[in-house]
Amino acid sequence: MVQAPVASTFVALALIPVALLFTHALISGLRGWRYHALSGMVAVLWDLSISVFYMLYRIFGGVVDGSVLTMTPSLTAYFAVHGIVAVIVMVLEVLIIVSGILQLRRKGKVRIHRRLAIPLFVLWVIAFLSGEIVYVVYYVL
């Protein structure tokens, strides 16, 4: 087994609690349970900070030391789709956090917040799993 790069391991592990928080926020928000605002806000801020950090790290020349990935056209396309979905997720997260803050201030529902919740969750799961799958296939198996 090849040793996983530190940056990849950090991101792969740091996003696992976000999955739990997003799931709690979605389920509790749809059912009207308590604390969905807190779990949702923590999930979005945590995910945004990790995702933006990693993207900026890679954009500004940060290499993933020890990476065993040989970039093929299909893997490049895979990462391109993964990156596009991740950027869409970040935009949705900003919209969710803004609409959530509006809900808290108005003490009433903002329709766009509920309408964005499920698409955000689905796209986030796709982005999360597509990153985790590459990590597991190349560094764990």
Residue with tokens 């979605």: 26
Residue 40 DSSP SS3:
helix
CA distances from 83 to 77, 124, 127 (A): 10, 12, 8
Rounded Cα gap, residues 5 and 63, in angstroms: 9
How confident is the model over 37-44, as a mean pLDDT?
A: 92
Taking all residues of the chain, what is their mean pLDDT, rounded to a whole number?
87
Give 87's pLDDT tier (boundaries 50, 70, 90): very high
How confident is the model over 22-34, as a mean pLDDT?
A: 89
Residue 1 DSSP SS3:
coil
Phi, psi of 76 (to 5 degrees): -65, -45
Record the pTM.
Answer: 0.86
